[in-house]
Amino acid sequence: MSEMTLVQAVNRGLFEAMKQDPDVLVLGEDVGVDGGVFRATDGLIKEYGAERVIDTPLSETGIIGTAIGMALYGLKPVAEIQFLDFIYPAFDQIVSELAKFRFRSGGQYPCHVVIRAPYGGGIKGGVYHSQSTEAYFCHTAGLKVAIPSTPADAKGLLLTAIHDEDPVMFFEPKRIYRTATGDVPDGDYRVPLGQARTVREGEHLSIFAYGAMVPPASEAASALAKDGISAEVIDLRTLVPLDEAAAVASVEKTGRAVVVHEAARFCGFGAELSAILAERAFYSLKAPILRVTGYDTPFPYALENVYLPNAARIEAAARAVMREG
Amino acid sequence: MAKAAQSAPEVAPGVSHALSNDRLLSMYRVMVLARAIDERCLSLQRQGRIGFYAPASGQEAAQIGCAAALGDEDWIFPAYREIGIALWRKVPFRALMDQFIGNSTDRVKGRQMPNHYSFRDHNFVSPSSPIGTQITQAVGAAMAMQRRHVPQVTATFFGDGATSSNDFHAGMNFAGVYRTPTIFFCQNNQWAISLPRSRQTHSATLAQKAEAYGFSGVVVDGNDVHAVFDAVAAARERALAGEGPTLIEAQVYRFGPHSTSDDPHRYRSDADVAEWKRKDPILRLREELRTSGALTDEAESQLQEAVKREISEAIEAAEGAPALDPLTLFDDTFAQRTPRLEEERAEFQRLLREGVIRP
Ligand SMILES: Cc1ncc(C[n+]2csc(CCOP(=O)(O)OP(=O)(O)O)c2C)c(N)n1
Ligand SMILES: [Mg+2]
């Protein structure tokens, strides 16, 4: 066990995976000599060489297309997309190819690539270094989607993703890369995909969040506790497969739900989660489900602090659902 | 005659001495089979017995000349028109027919429209419809071969239209940078649906695009099996020697429609087609084999008969195979069904049982 930041935990996870299996390799822009623009791949090239830590030309479709070819052949590529905002040149390779290879070949060609991408706002990145577009990928059958919020989960989910048999989109909350710190188990530590984590237990309402929204959700729960409102905070950790059972069980217990994400609201992941809760926990609900999300505008630069959900907005939504029913 | 692309190294043209008469005969046989399958499948589609078909007529020498120069261990990253490659690799027509129907013996379980078959046992990777996407993948698999230090290459197949796609340029660029053992085999059949080659790019040749990526591109007469074989064999040798990729532009002509959904009369003249049909690669090889005495009239008519029989038997068998089990829909999205897919499958099963969904 050692204490570290979230980005260090990603780095430890990559070191561990490359040590465990010579078929694991890392590729992307500036991942080698530079160690990645966020230093997530720092030191890997020194340890494992340029054959396994590949600095690529500036082409996302090239990165993902070649990663797919490597995976078809039996390697385990972990591709880095420098910012989630720049993934779209590879969108075709991800949604038309990676997600569908196993299915379209009748199971003959599994295609296991892990794609890491820092996502989200709060770093003064403006329109193109801030977006949270996980919903696009959740909507595509054949992709798993994981988003850690703690250093331990970052390492544990990443190692599981790398050893999984399916493609995994691994989105890293860059805003808390260095502010989220915590103990991380040494060695081969794995967190299963598809299992939510109860951050804190509560009786009166359930707050669902993931990635960089987990800390403000917890903060809101602490503030509510001072007024005797007991909020359960659930970190979803994987959006696909989603731990629907945990989400439904929590709402069956509390009867109220607030869903938080920094992505825009319309057709965001919260829409799916709200629909699932409405379908499966309707008779437990004492109040309408509320969503606390980014707005349905492109991501702003100067106004990011008021665009992004924070503890105060989450707390206000929680108080609103408490007033009903 | 093969001719070199502008400022690209030349590939020796002419009749290859690498190909014995026996080998030429077996190539000829597969070319004849491919042509006959095309003709039958166009009519099967008109009769509503298969949903779609994209013919390869006119491209047989390019495909089979190329396939014959590759090793069985080399990986094929095809587009949707590569029937000659599959047949050369000894994929039985029955297996293709199963795929065109999407029956219970279809290797890809009825997931894709006709022409999108794949056979892992034959190193024939699964194609998709989006143009060009296989090109970067072929480069990635070649990078994996480099990493494993195995004497294999990847060959990727695409058309003149695909040279405008993102992945063509990305793939060529990566292949140049990492000097991958990749053969980029472009069948320039002069058309991308209705768009003529001249409107696809202002480059004099497609092959010359390789030069910008730091490796050689060659133009070959795709109606000449010898020229194609030689160009591919040379490219493969270079790739295996660690000398990197090659782009080969095989100049051919698409005799038929783009697909059964296409009416080529809207964009090209019969005279143009007739002109190219005089260079029909099958007639050309037939003439050569007759002149050399390798093919007699009797052998030719036996071959035509055998091919017809093989095709009819395969169609009958494929049409007689049981229909696909609808529940297979829920296999292969992931390695294991997620809880959600289990639930959807159970719901689907119930709807089938209740007759709400009818296969
Ligand atoms: C990305 C993409 N855009 C458009 C299409 C529709 N489309 C299918 S085939 C084709 C033309 C392809 O031409 P070419 O690459 O020359 O191959 P050919 O069909 O001649 O073998 C087009 C436009 C497609 N399949 N994928
Ligand atoms: Mg074409």
**Which of A60, A104, A244, A276 to mutate against chain B (most B CBs within 10 Å)?**
A104
pLDDT digits (tens, 9 = 90+) for A87-127: 999 999 999 999 999 999 999 999 999 999 999 999 999 99
Find the radius of gyration of the CA atoms of chain A.
Answer: 19
Tell me the C-alpha distance between B142 and A70, whole Å.
8
pLDDT digits (tens, 9 = 90+) for A137-156: 999 999 999 999 999 999 99
Q: Can you give the pLDDT at residue B181? A: 98
Does the distance separating the beta carbons of A107 and B140 come in below 8 Å?
Answer: no
A72, A96, A101 member nearest B130 (Cβ) = A96
- Of A96, A142, A106, give the one whose Cα is nearest residue B129: A96
Q: Structure tokens of A17?
A: 């995976």
pLDDT at A284 over 60: yes
Q: Tell me if B65 sits within 8 A of B16, measured CB to CB.
A: no
Q: Can you give the pLDDT at residue B1? A: 33
Distance to chain A for B205, nearest Cα, Å: 24
Distance to chain A for B113, nearest Cα, Å: 10
Does the distance separating the beta carbons of B171 and A105 come in below 8 Å?
Answer: no
Q: Tell me if B108 sits within 8 A of A106, measured CB to CB.
A: yes
Q: Can you give the pLDDT at residue B159? A: 98
Secondary structure (DSSP) of B302-328: HHHHHHHHHHHHHHHHHHHSPPPPGGG
Q: Residue B246: what are its φ and ψ, rounded to 5°?
A: -140, 140
Q: Can you give the pLDDT at residue B222? A: 98
Could you tell me the CATH superfamily of domain A2-184? Thiamin diphosphate (ThDP)-binding fold, Pyr/PP domains (3.40.50.970)
Whether the predicted model's global pTM rises above the 0.90 cut: yes
Find the radius of gyration of the CA atoms of chain B.
Answer: 21
List residues of B with catalytic annotation. 254, 258, 267
pLDDT at A315 over 50: yes
Exposed/middle/buried for residue A177 (C-beta within 10 Å: 0-12, 13-18, 19+): buried
Instruction: Name residue A232's beta-bridge partners.
Output: A206
Q: Can you give the pLDDT at residue B7? A: 40
Is the CB–ligand 1 distance for residue B55 below 6 Å? no
Is the CB–ligand 1 distance for residue B35 below 6 Å? no
- Count Cβ atoms below 10 Å from residue A237 Cβ, excluding itself: 26
* Element of type H or E holding B216: strand B216-221
Chain B contact present for A32, CB below 8 A: no
Report the number of secondary-structure helices (H) and strands (E) in chain B.
Answer: 13, 8
Q: How many residues are present in chain B?
A: 359
Does the distance separating the beta carbons of B173 and A66 come in below 8 Å?
Answer: no
Q: Tell me if B174 sits within 8 A of A69, measured CB to CB.
A: no
8-state DSSP, B17 = S
Is the CB–ligand 1 distance for residue B123 below 6 Å? no
Chain B contact present for A142, CB below 8 A: yes
Exposed/middle/buried for residue A252 (C-beta within 10 Å: 0-12, 13-18, 19+): middle
Q: Structure tokens of A258?
A: 């607030």
Chain B contact present for A67, CB below 8 A: yes
Chain centroid offset of residue A225 CA: 27
Is the CB–ligand 1 distance for residue B159 below 6 Å? yes
Tell me how far the alpha carbon of residue B41 lies from the centroid of ligand 1, in angstroms: 20
* Element of type H or E holding A19: helix A6-20
* Element of type H or E holding A81: none
Same fold, A2-184 and A197-323: yes
Distance to chain B for A3, nearest Cα, Å: 34
What number does CATH give the domain B3-323?
A: 3.40.50.970
Tell me the C-alpha distance between B78 and B134, whole Å.
7
CATH 3.40.50.970 occupies which residues in chain B? Answer: 3-323
Tell me the C-alpha distance between B192 and B218, whole Å.
21
Q: Structure tokens of A303?
A: 């106004």
Question: For domain A197-323, is the CATH number 3.40.50.920?
Answer: yes
Q: Name the closest residue on chain B to residue A193, using Cα atoms.
A: B338
Domains of chain A, by residue range, sit at 2-184, 197-323
Pick the catalytic residue from A129, A139, A204, A261: A129
Distance to chain A for B344, nearest Cα, Å: 13
Q: Can you give the pLDDT at residue B2? A: 38
- Count Cβ atoms below 10 Å from residue B43 Cβ, excluding itself: 11
Instruction: Name residue A167's beta-bridge partners.
Output: none
User: What Cα–Cα distance (Å) separates residue A210 from each residue in A199, A246, A262?
Assistant: 11, 14, 9
Q: Tell me if B249 sits within 8 A of B218, measured CB to CB.
A: yes
pLDDT at A7 over 60: yes
Does the distance separating the beta carbons of A70 and B144 come in below 8 Å?
Answer: yes
- Of A136, A46, A36, A47, give the one whose Cα is nearest residue A94: A136
Tell me how far the alpha carbon of residue A194 lies from the centroid of ligand 1, in angstroms: 39
Q: Tell me if B340 sits within 8 A of A243, measured CB to CB.
A: no
Rounded to two decimals, the ipTM of the complex is 0.96
Convert A48-85 to b/e letters by CB count within 10 Å (16 or more is b).
beeebbbbbeebbbbbbbbbbbbbbbebbbbbbbbbbb
Q: Residue B242: what are its φ and ψ, rounded to 5°?
A: 80, 15
Q: Residue A293: what are its φ and ψ, rounded to 5°?
A: -145, 175
User: What Cα–Cα distance (Å) separates residue B245 from each residue in B37, B85, B143, B176, B185?
Assistant: 32, 20, 11, 7, 11
Kindly give the confidence (pLDDT) of every residue in chain B, 359 residues in length, as a single tens digit, with 9 standing for 90 and above. Answer: 333 334 433 444 445 568 999 999 999 999 999 999 999 999 999 999 999 999 999 999 999 999 999 999 999 999 999 999 999 999 999 999 999 999 999 999 999 999 999 999 999 999 999 999 999 999 999 999 999 999 999 999 999 999 999 999 999 999 999 999 999 999 999 999 999 999 999 999 999 999 999 999 999 999 999 999 999 999 999 999 999 999 999 999 999 999 999 999 999 999 999 999 999 999 999 999 999 999 999 999 999 999 999 999 999 999 999 999 999 999 999 999 999 999 999 999 999 999 999 98
Tell me the C-alpha distance between B38 and B256, whole Å.
9
Q: Can you give the pLDDT at residue B12? A: 45
Q: Can you give the pLDDT at residue B15? A: 53
Tell me how far the alpha carbon of residue B233 lies from the centroid of ligand 2, in angstroms: 23
Tell me the C-alpha distance between B217 and B8, whole Å.
6
- Of B196, B137, B203, B192, give the one whose Cα is nearest residue B170: B137
Q: Tell me if A225 sits within 8 A of A250, measured CB to CB.
A: no
Tell me how far the alpha carbon of residue A276 lies from the centroid of ligand 1, in angstroms: 40
pLDDT digits (tens, 9 = 90+) for A208-247: 999 999 999 999 999 999 999 999 999 999 999 999 999 9
